[in-house]
Amino acid sequence: MNDRTKRVALISGASRGIGDHVAAELFRQGWAVSLGMRTPAMPQWALGHEGDVHLADYDANDVTAEKRWVDSAFQHFGRIDAIVANAGIMIPKTVIEADDDDIDAMLAVNVKAPRRLAKAAWDALCESGCGRVIILASLSGKRVKSALSGSYSLSKFAAVALSHAIRQAGFDKGVRATAICPGFVATDMAAAISDRPADQLTQPDDLARIIAMLLSLPNEASVAEFAINCQLEEFF
Ligand SMILES: NC(=O)c1ccc[n+]([C@@H]2O[C@H](COP(=O)([O-])OP(=O)(O)OC[C@H]3O[C@@H](n4cnc5c(N)ncnc54)[C@H](OP(=O)(O)O)[C@@H]3O)[C@@H](O)[C@H]2O)c1
């Protein structure tokens, strides 16, 4: 049986990387979690606690997936208090090399799907009284660090704007949105584009603790953006 007094978070891209760490940390801190995955599978850390862990078949490229996921999670838990829009893709191409398909692919997963997820969960988030939306943006949503990250930056600037737009739309309903803006985090994504050793990158479990802390804050301590970096830059 699941415990309806627990706060409930939906985490997209929970199969691996940052999403898996965020889900595990929230679960450890007493949240019930619904894991959006392209190939749903119960994670090792959840074995024996299946009532508080809900699995959903979730592909960000399917425009009907968010509503199905939200309906199924709501049916399972009876409430939704937070969404963590984490699923994301990075195509390392300059804005000159990229074609429309590359740009569309990143906008679809990094921007359009998180907006649909927030929209699908909106009534439940408002009903919560302290609904929370976390958008896994990036420091690439705050500055364009290199030519090769340019196309990805385009989508992540939009993801930061999405988070601010949700914050504006939901503030008087108790919904708080935060754009998380990390530099390199030691996951498959960073391994594909950075040759820095993994132990010199931000660790996904540290990021997960930051996100859990942000989700624990009261309505009166709203954090619009949170930047995290493993290296020194002028402003971040
Ligand atoms: N790692 C970094 O350095 C870094 C820095 C800043 C921001 N971020 C952002 O943080 C988020 C998580 O990144 P990560 O480093 O954990 O990446 P990752 O290790 O590459 O994992 C990506 C996650 O997104 C899921 N995903 C990708 N496309 C999807 C789709 N169409 N539908 C549903 N799920 C999909 C993947 O699922 P599958 O397992 O099915 O592929 C996986 O769970 C992303 O939004 C990323 O842009 C990452």
123 Cβ contact list (under 8 Å, min separation 6): none
Note whether residue 233 is domain-resident.
no
* Residue of 159, 157, 175 whose CA lies nearest to 167: 175
pTM for this model (two decimals): 0.98
Query: What region, left, alpha or beta, does residue 66 occupy, with left being phi > 0 and alpha being psi -120 to 50 degrees?
Result: alpha
pLDDT of residue 3: 64
* pLDDT tens digits for range 83-112: 999 999 999 999 999 999 999 999 999 999
Note whether residue 73 is domain-resident.
yes
- In the chain, where do the E strands start and end? 8-12, 32-37, 53-57, 82-85, 132-136, 176-182, 225-228
**How many whole angstroms from 22 Cα to the centroid of ligand 1?**
12
* pLDDT tens digits for range 19-36: 999 999 999 999 999 999
Specify the residue with its C-alpha closest to ligand 1, atom 21.
Answer: 17
Note whether residue 2 is domain-resident.
no
Q: Catalytic annotation on 58?
A: no
For the beta sheet containing 225-228, the strands, ordered from the edge strand earlier in sequence to the opposite edge, are 53-57, 32-37, 8-12, 82-85, 132-136, 176-182, 225-228
Number of H helices, E strands in the chain: 7, 7
Note whether residue 236 is domain-resident.
no
Note whether residue 235 is domain-resident.
no
Average pLDDT score over residue span 5-11: 97
Note whether residue 234 is domain-resident.
no
Q: Domain limits at 202? A: 8-228
Asked if 123 and 168 touch (Cβ cutoff 8 Å), the reply is no
Query: How many domains does the chain divide into?
Result: 1
Which residues is 177 bridged to in the sheet?
133
Which residues line ligand 1 at a C-beta cut-off of 6 Å? 13, 15-19, 38, 58-61, 86-90, 109, 136, 138, 182, 184-185, 187-190
Question: Could you tell me the CATH number of the domain that includes residue 17?
Answer: 3.40.50.720
pLDDT of residue 2: 61
Best residue among 18, 106, 203 to mutate for probing ligand 1, ranked by most atoms within 8 Å of CB: 18
User: Please, is 140 exposed, middle or buried when counting C-beta atoms within 10 Å of its C-beta (0-12, 13-18, 19+)?
Assistant: buried
Note whether residue 1 is domain-resident.
no
What's the CA gap between 177 and 46, in Å, rounded?
Answer: 27
What DSSP state is assigned to residue 179? E
